Amino acid sequence: MRNYDLEFLKRFSIVIGVLTVIAIGLIFFASFLQGAIPTEESANAVKRTEERIAPVGAVYAGSTGAAAQAAAAEAAAAKAAAGGGAYDGTLDGKVIFDKLCTACHLTGVGMAPTLDHAHWDSRIAQGTETLYKHAIDGYTGPDGGVMPPKGGNPGLSEEQIHATVDWMLANLK
């Protein structure tokens, strides 16, 4: 090899060696920082993560499974006896409207009537029993408007539907 080729290889090897030492030094520094700086976790983020990874159900066999099934049946019966339903069984029409109905009845999605007399006067003329029936059983109007049964929440009781329809009628603009 020629002299200037050897000189180049020496300098190139030194540069590669220095860059390798710097890279290794940065790796150790990053590792140190990772361990030294505590992570910040918000309580909301932890809660959302725990909700996402929570098990949906469980499988039990034998007497443990029978006991779990009996306990679930008792809890369901107690909830039904207590009149519990959607939204903790509330009969406050405003609460149900705010949680379920606003998406359609404030914006007119799916041709839903908004809370004004222009949309409701012809419906009110049919009688409240018809309005209750359409809210409970669902309805597809001649204009293509769609009302899903129980507003899309099958957990609502008929009393909750009646309370919500009554609230809507009382709050027309």
- φ and ψ at 86, to 5 degrees? -60, 145
- pTM > 0.75: yes or no: no
pLDDT band of 2, cuts 50, 70, 90: confident
Q: Looking at per-residue confidence, does 148 or 62 come out higher?
A: 148
* pLDDT at residue 18, rounded to an integer: 97
* pLDDT at residue 20, rounded to an integer: 98
Work out the mean pLDDT of the chain and round it to a whole number. Answer: 84
d(CA 94, CA 101) in angstroms, rounded, equals 10
| Position 123, amino acid | R
Pick from 14-23, 38-47, 74-83, 132-141: least confident: 74-83
Does residue 87 contact residue 99 with C-beta atoms inside 8 Å? Answer: yes
pLDDT beyond 90 at 14:
yes
Mean pLDDT of 2-21: 92
Write the burial class of residue 84 (CB in 10 Å: 0-12 exposed, 13-18 middle, 19+ buried).
Answer: middle
Pick from 7-11, 30-34, 138-142: least confident: 138-142
172 C-beta neighbours (distance < 10 Å), count: 15
pLDDT beyond 70 at 80:
no
- Where are the domains positioned within the chain? 1-40, 43-81, 86-170
* pLDDT at residue 27, rounded to an integer: 96
- CATH for the 86-170 domain, from 1.10.3720.10, 2.120.10.30, 1.10.760.10, 3.40.47.10: 1.10.760.10
Q: Looking at per-residue confidence, does 42 or 58 come out higher?
A: 42
